[in-house]
Structure 1
């Protein structure tokens, strides 16, 4: 008898623990999405509307399979909302926008590829399978928790009904009054529902952006009309579009590290003036933030706003006139220099139509990599000069990507005497003399510091090149592709990037006098701001009769 009594007591304890666990899961799980979105664990102290609603619905439904269907739907909604909130957090931290199912599905496939490269395809599949299994188990556990909570409420009779009524009334009153645990953290929450509603809204916006893209890409007054005379005002000039990685407004204005960059720009601008160059500067608004640089490159080149990978891929299926193609058609030799590329660039040949494409595999570099940056910017300048500018040549138009200021921004190269560059071996000792990313990234202030240093290096290499190799026929368009990640830019940074045009020929600036840009390579805070997709048409208008 004592054994039977002990068994019953243990069962009772087990049932009580299961009940407490079920109610705890119902209270906490639907709030995780909100905690991720708001960035505070205080959101886990709220009262979730989803759990209240599912218990009330289950109470009203007679026994049968439909009860499991409702409970299962609740579990799926909560799990999916949590996953979406986690994806939002990752996307906002990197590219400054929420996850969109319509646009970012391929990014998840790419992420799988990155994991596969790091761990092996078999391990990557195992990881994905484990994650899926955990998510399914979580959904089932939440469904069972909802069913158990409903049974406990019903079996409690009048007490259960009173408790359910009080909790529901409390949520309604707190929602109406707007009670908050902390500023921005409501006590009456509906975080899972709000997360799914937000991602649905984002998907609708993405679909609308796709329609806007289709309309924009189909209208091209330059591509659809005669091209005679295009760019004739630049005849005989070498034209270089120089993208500086992560060179955003934050680098030049009102930040802890902008003073060093400003100093580099002022000193470089003074040296340019002594060497006979002039410059004008402004800002462009980039379609991307923190990464995905190729969206900015294609936007500037095509005159179409390319804010997603989907539209980037769609662009290449069109016959759109790019700046590169316009120069090529007008008689320039066209060149791309992308030191970070280690594979053939199909679009560079078939869409942009470059005559020559340079990457890390064919630019003769034998020196060390500087974290992400395979080739230091000074070597990139030297190689371009040696191959395209040093001897008498037909006019060249080039897009060059300068990547020494790419995240993680450390170690930073140092300038060496230009005659010593050779095959890049002169840089061999430099990476070990700098800071490793693992030593920097735990401290946001150090991250910001090395970011500023990397931009100073890239700008310094450009100024040193122009001082060392006189280029009377060069028109240099130097600009950023996007702002650096939020750890550097901060929570309120816009998408603006500096742009400057540098040349020795006053006629170049006569053609753009109507633009209203400021003098020098350091744009003023109130300098004009254009969307990046507006640049192509204004540039073609300015230099074409």
Structure 2
């Protein structure tokens, strides 16, 4: 059996590549067996024989060494300059000299081998974590119009998985979740190994690496002092440090905001108003607050989506006028974007700016009077919620002051789901009529209705059927089967925008037809969007504005808001007044005769 030996005292290569990769010898490698000898048979000898491949193929070894080293360099430097916005993922924006690389090289060169390896691995893990946060920022910016909050947003990842499961199936959601977890784990391992490899490269020739680090540092400082730019950004970059600094600031502000907001939530202008002084000008009216999912300014003003939506709003305004209804419309700036609809609902109804989950939890656990709870407090209304998107326990019912809530399983629906939406809006409204609005009652009804058919991914979409044909929802089976697949639409921006526009047309049509068919002289309908659709649909730098309309037959109802200068009809003018969403509650209460009695803190 051939004998394998390993040389011990190995000189460093001047170019950093493995000694002998040019074919003159394989310093540090196992020597190849002599020709003509029998192949190794034991496990140890087989492993040793495998290790000796670089001696047998020096050119391949050299290529592999340089390839892995370059890939490690690209991976580490790429993580240091990676932006957190999809729109910035361009090659010219990634060509920077990161100051973090210069500092890291200087630190690693100053350490003995073992601490150097540990420090390099820690650097790689840190860069992997930063990469994950940057990618989360990209996803959250795309879907929610904001970055990822390290304190509050981890729980939303579970909601994201639920959304994928509801839209594309449980198997797809599970596979995607497992795949992402494996990808993240691999990123951490590979990034740590890449950093360690680069540290070993630096240590192979300390004098040359030190000179290179000093030169790089000098270039970085010079470019920084002279403000040298490339592609509109400084060539001397410190993106990683800036990102960590921003996230640390966000964490601190999030923690500080909790106490400040809790105090703000207790200061209620109508908190101590006697029941008989709350909304006296709406006594005897059936008041319905309806949120249309993702109904934003883009639906009315975007050139792709607006033609169909504008026709729907114009036709619906005319049909309602024929039925004796008038409408006025304006704009509200939503507290959320692209998703997290409950933040928009709570901001509108509670009169507070609720733009994150922490604020939401604070309000839900407070005694703050939401609009439904104010109607309940008067004792003059029954209060009910129609929530087809709710599929589990909903403790928020108490905060909102709703006597009864109908969730997805309590409206008798036997038809198909339409992607995320558990039932078509037309069915939800017909069920509301059958279960509550159409019943004989001793008191008028205050209702909160959430319409979900315009929820992404907007495929397949329901279509209107005859109101007498709605039944238990089975009539929608054929419509659902013939509709587009969510996976086909969600990956195509143009098709998503077109489908989104059609979903808004459907939701507005269903709601206004319901009012024509079932509304009375005493019906007052307030409907609005909860937020704009995702960036891929609404566009980069889209506003957060959503339309809001009040519809009634009684002229006195709209006369009360004449000072608001809203637009006549269901389509708000481009320059109609714009308020922050949290201002609506108090202005609505004041317009309809409520007397402020602030809470004593």
Q: TM-score, normalising length from structure 2? A: 0.83
- Note the alpha carbon deviations across 1:67-111, whole angstroms, 9 max, x for none: 445434422331221111011111111111111112213234555
2: CA distance, partners of 1:514 / 1:309:
34
- From 205, 217, 238, give the equivalent of 1:190: 238
* 1:47-66 aligned within 5 A: 47-59=97-109, 61-63=110-112, 66=115
Gaps of 5+ in 2: 6-23, 30-53, 596-601
Q: Which runs of 5+ in 1 are unaligned?
A: none
Equivalent residue, structure 1, for 2:473: 424
Say whether the 8 Å CA contact 1:27–1:47 is kept in structure 2: no
Cα deviation for residue 42 of structure 1 reads: 3.8
What's the offset of the Cα at 1:24? 4.7
Q: Give the equivalent residue in structure 2 for 1:147.
A: 199
2:72 is aligned, of 7, 25, 42, to 25
Q: Distance in 2 between matches of 1:110 and 1:457?
A: 26
CA RMSD of aligned residues (A): 2.9
Deviation at 1:294, TM superposition (A): 0.8
Which protein shows a greater Rg?
2
Q: Deviation string for 1:305-350 (max 9, x for gaps)? A: 11112221222221111111111111211010011222232221x3
Distance 1:109 1:400, change over 3 A: closer
Select which of 536, 556, 574 maps to 1:525. 574
Cα offset, 1:527, TM superposition: 1.0
In 2 relative to 1, CA 129–507 (structure 1 residues): closer, same or farther, beyond 3 Å? closer
Distance 1:234 1:166, change over 3 A: same
Query: Once the two structures are superposed, what CA deviation does each residue of 1:144-187 show, in whole Å capped at 9, x if it has no partner?
Result: 13421431341xx3x44443332222222333444444344x43
TM-aligned CA deviation for residue 134 of structure 1: 2.5
- 1:443 and 2:495 aligned: no
Q: 1:133: Cα distance to partner?
A: 4.1
Distance 1:83 1:47, change over 3 A: same
- Work out whether residues 202 and 209 of structure 2, in 8 Å CA contact, stay in contact via their aligned partners in 1: no
Determine if contact 1:55/1:149 at 8 Å carries over to the other structure: no
SS at match of 1:266: helix
1:381 paired to 2:429 = yes
Please identify which structure carries the higher helix content. Answer: 1
Say which of 434, 439, 443 aligns to 2:483.
434
CA contact (8 A) 1:30 1:48 kept: yes
SS of equivalent to 1:236: coil
Please, which moves more after superposition, 364-373 or 433-442? 433-442
Contact 1:299 1:532 in 2 (8 A): yes
Please state how far the C-alpha of 1:273 moved relative to its aligned partner: 1.5
Shift of 1:64: 6.5
Matches within 5 A, 1:223-242: 223-242=271-290
Separation in structure 1 between the aligned mates of residue 26 and residue 323 of structure 2, nearest angstrom: 93
Change (3 A) 1:125 1:389: closer
Inter-CA distance 424–107: structure 2 relative to 1 (3 Å threshold):
closer
Aligned to 1:539: 588
1:214 correspondence with 2:262: yes
Structure 1 residue 271, shift from structure 2 partner: 1.6
Question: 1:391-428, CA deviations, whole angstroms, 9 ceiling, x for partnerless residues?
Answer: 43220001001111111112222211111211122222
Residue pair 1:238, 1:397 contacting (<8 A) in 2 also: yes
Shift of 1:248: 0.4
Aligned equivalent of 2:222: 173
Residue in 2 aligned with 1:272?
A: 320
Q: Which residue number in structure 1 is paired with residue 420 of structure 2? A: 372
- Partner residue in 2 for 1:400: 449
Question: Which of 245, 250, 255 is equivalent to 1:202?
Answer: 250
Corresponding position of 2:150 = 101
Q: Does 1:332 align with 2:381?
A: yes
Please point out which of 344, 358, 373 is paired with 1:296. Answer: 344
Q: Find out whether 1:262 has 2:314 as its counterpart.
A: no
- Residue 367 of structure 2 aligns with which residue? 319
